[in-house]
Chains A and B, each alone.
Chain A
Amino acid sequence: MSTYRSTFISARKRRQRSILRTFFRACWRYRALLLMLLPGAAVFIVNCYLPMAGVFLAFKKIDYAVGLLRSPWVGLENFEFLFATTDAWRITRNTICYNLLFIFCDVFFAVGVAVLMREIWQPLCSKVYQTLIILPNFLSMVVVAYLVYGFLHPDYGFLNSIRETLGLERVNWYNELAYWPFILPLVHWWKQLGYKSVVYLASIAGIDKELYEAAVIDGAGKWQQAIYITVPQLTPTMVIMFLLALGNIFRADFGLFYQVPMNSAMLYEVTDVIDTYVYRALTTLNNVGMSSAASFYQSVVGAVTVVAANLVVRKIDPAQALF
């Protein structure tokens, strides 16, 4: 019995030792490649993994005087503060509503524009249009805020000038809640729609031409070609874009919601999203506990939505799941 056990253990040890040996041998063999990975790995640890470990600060009462690690644990106190305010509901509602609107309409509009763009046969025209419609994507949100301000400036803005010539009252846009649920999506699409369409156009260019030729011989019109060839061929790209966007549903475009309304406090009811709230709690309100609680809430719920969205896609079509 004892001999049996000892031979068994030594066999296992031997196997472990040989696994270790192949591991180290592989490490030595590929030492140059491992060395190449080193700077990247270090940067990702600093930029991404340290903050991920830092989410647990949300369960602490942070006191910089005693240091981050020695600050006392307070359990869910920060969360109780956050959810006791009406802010939690407001920022969640705004974030999700705007993002849902963006996610669904972006795909629909972008594919639509790409399908239309494909029918422009003059290469020069197509190129000029593409150049111009993706231009807004390369402007910073600060510049976009300037451009919006040019139209909405309460005294000199272009829109108010027009309203005046038409004999209408001036509108103080930066104080009026009602307009912003329309202005913000408009700005979002102005900035991103062209670029997203061109991304889809690039995918359309990769579709096998013979599919269309065959369809034409079978008598398919433009509409049928779009529905039965272009859209099904684009589906993998659409699914990936959709998944990534859905995973980020708890993450808003900070620039859009902070810069474009010029951080106007009158508008928070319809412009305040989780990201802007976290930023304000952190800097202007100086409430690190609340900020880290909101930030934790965003990260964790965001992580759950990514995994859930991926699970659903995997159920429907495993080949298109992200992981």
Chain B
Amino acid sequence: MRSAAKRIHPNLANRVPLWTEILLHLFFALFSIACLAPLLLLIAVSLTPETVLLQDGYQFFPREYTLEAYAFLFEKPEMVLNAYGVTLFVVVVGTLSCLLVTVLYAYPLSRTDFPFRNFFATFIVITMLFNGGLTATYIINVRVLHLRNTIWALILPGVSSAFYIMIARTFFRISIPLSVLESARIDGAGEWRVLFQIVLPLSLPMLATIGLFATFAFWNDWFRSLLYVDKKELYALQYVMMRALLNLQYLQQNMSNMSAEEAMLELAKLPSETLRMAMAVVSIGPIVLAYPFFQRFFISGLTVGAVKG
């Protein structure tokens, strides 16, 4: 098709010349590699034997490969498993409640016949522009709501998102025809029934997009753990990783599960550098592996709704 168009008029195909195209591919190939390479380095380090690492440093292609760091990690899996449990609970409960709140708030805003929609839209747009800052938020959550060292401290602050609500509202307004709503009402369906049995089944792409955004946001969150949690049982995966990065001993003490002196003796045996990287790989793994399958939702989701509307 390209050559046919070219024969008629060299420029009608509106493509760049061949050498430019090659340069473009080169540029994007390099860009893609730059995005992927640090992750590959992380994986390579986690597979390097500790002794080799101490000689050569971190290398993309180590001289030898071993699974010893992973073996150590799975020998005493309690810490990682517990962190996985906390994170999964936060992700599931957080995402579901975020979706519910978002949908319930967005649907009335999308109804053009609803007289209070401007008031309630302004109510959340204000929160996009202004906020009380970290200290006030912290004091309210800790001193007034007493969320410190509860799992809700990891969930509640992430449930309200004006941005998701605006996306959902725009989606409802554009893609649910008013005639469908009217005919449902004539057939005697109440508002709740219309929302849950007609509107939501028609909105699955939008729900998938927002659900995925929320899932990633909860999965990747370490800030709320940093602020509100200092009980070990409530450490989420990202927070355990963060502690391990800032303090190597933290990992060793928790892995070996024994007194400080015993831990000191045990220290030498642990492949600490590679162990840390192995833990990072185990924590990143699922989400990165799942990512290519969800990626199309992100890209389609970007076009679903503009902020303004």
Binding site for B on A (CB under 8 A): 26, 30, 32-34, 36-37, 39-41, 43-44, 46-55, 57-58, 62, 64, 68, 113, 116-117, 119-121, 125, 128-136, 138-143, 145-151, 153, 155-158, 160-161, 164, 190, 194, 198-199, 202, 205-206, 212-213, 216-217, 219, 222, 237, 240, 244, 247, 254-255, 259, 262-263, 275, 278-279, 282-283, 288, 291-292, 294-296, 298-299, 302-303, 306, 322-323
Contact yes or no, B135 A198, CB < 8 A: no
Bound together, the chains give a CA A142 to CA B283 distance in angstroms of 11
7 examples of A-B residue contacts, CB within 8 angstroms: A37-B120, A39-B105, A40-B104, A51-B137, A119-B21, A140-B238, A219-B11
Given A30-B115, A147-B39, A190-B35 in contact, is the A120-B287 Cβ separation under 8 Å? no
What string of 1s and 0s marks CB contacts (under 8 Å) between B128-139 and chain A? 111111111111
Chain B residues in 8 Å Cβ range of A64: 143
Separation in Å of the A185 CB from the closest CB of chain B? 15
Q: A117 CA to B32 CA in the complex, in Å? A: 12
The answer to whether the Cβ of B251 comes within 8 Å of any Cβ in the partner chain is: no
Tally of chain B residues near chain A (CB < 8 A): 102
Q: How far is the CA of A247 from the CA of B143 in the complex (A)?
A: 29
Residues of chain B in range 31-58 having any CB-CB distance to chain A below 8 Å: 31-32, 34-36, 38-39, 41-42, 45, 53-54, 56-58
The CA of A302 and the CA of B134, in the complex, are separated in Å by: 13
Tell me which residues across on chain A come within 8 A of B287, comparing CB atoms: 138
Chain A nearest CB: distance from B144 CB in Å? 7
The interface residues of chain B lying within 8 Å CB-to-CB of A216 are 11-12, 14
Give chain A residues whose Cβ lies under 8 Å from the Cβ of B241.
142-143, 146
A37-B104, A51-B131, A216-B12 as given contacts; A138 in contact with B220, CB under 8 Å: yes
Instruction: Give Cα A139–Cα B222 distance, bound, in whole angstroms.
Output: 12
Task: List residues of B whose CB falls within 8 A of some A CB.
Answer: 11-12, 14-16, 20-21, 24-25, 27-29, 31-32, 34-36, 38-39, 41-42, 45, 53-54, 56-60, 100-102, 104-105, 107-108, 111, 114-116, 120, 123-140, 143-145, 156-157, 159-160, 162, 165, 190-192, 195, 216, 219-223, 227, 238-239, 241-242, 245-246, 273, 277, 280, 283-284, 287-288, 291-292, 295, 298-299, 302-303, 306-308
A55 touches B16 (CB 8 A): no
In order of increasing CB-CB distance, the 6 nearest A-B pairs are A51-B132, A54-B136, A40-B105, A295-B133, A140-B220, A32-B191
Contacts of A306 in B (CB 8 A): 129-130
List, in ascending order, chain B residues with CB within 8 A of A212's CB: 14
B15, A121: Cβ atoms under 8 Å?
A: yes
- CB–CB A150/B45 < 8 A: yes
CB within 8 Å for A40 and B38 given contacts A120-B24, A125-B25, A153-B58: no
The number of inter-chain residue pairs (CB within 8 angstroms) is: 287
CB-based contact A303/B130 at 8 Å: yes
**Which residues of B have CB within 8 Å of A113?**
31
Contacts of A50 in B (CB 8 A): 132, 140, 144
Q: Shortest CB–CB separation between residue A142 and chain B, in angstroms?
A: 5
Whether B104 and A36, one on each chain, are in contact in the complex, defined by CB atoms closer than 8 angstroms, is yes
Give the distance in Å from the alpha carbon of A154 to the alpha carbon of B301 in the complex.
41
Q: Do residues B291 and A142 form an inter-chain contact, with CB atoms below 8 A?
A: no
Indicate if the CB atoms of A288 and B135 lie closer than 8 Å: yes
Residue of B126, B138, B284 contacting most chain A CB atoms (<10 Å) = B138
Do A194 and B160 touch across chains, with their CB atoms under 8 A apart? no
Given A46-B156, A120-B24, A138-B291; A36-B216 close (CB under 8 Å): no
From the candidates A134, A136, A237, A279, name the one contacting B298 in the complex (CB within 8 A).
A134
| Chain B positions within 8 Å of A57 at CB level | 135-136, 139
The answer on a CB contact under 8 Å between A55 and B54 is no
Q: How far apart are the CA atoms of A49 and B139 in the complex, in Å?
A: 13
B141 → chain A closest CB, angstroms: 8
Contact B42 A150 (CB under 8 A): yes
In the complex formed, the residue of A with least CB distance to B33 is A132
Give every chain B residue within 8 A of A153 (Cβ-Cβ): 57-58
A48 in contact with B127 (CB, 8 Å) = yes
Nearest residue (CB) in B for A128 is B32
Find the A residue at minimum CB distance from B190: A32
Q: How far is B132's CA from A283's CA once the two chains are assembled, in angstroms?
A: 18
Q: Are B221 and A295 in contact (CB under 8 A)?
A: no
* Set of chain A residues within 8 Å of B245, measured between Cβ atoms: 142, 145-146, 149, 262
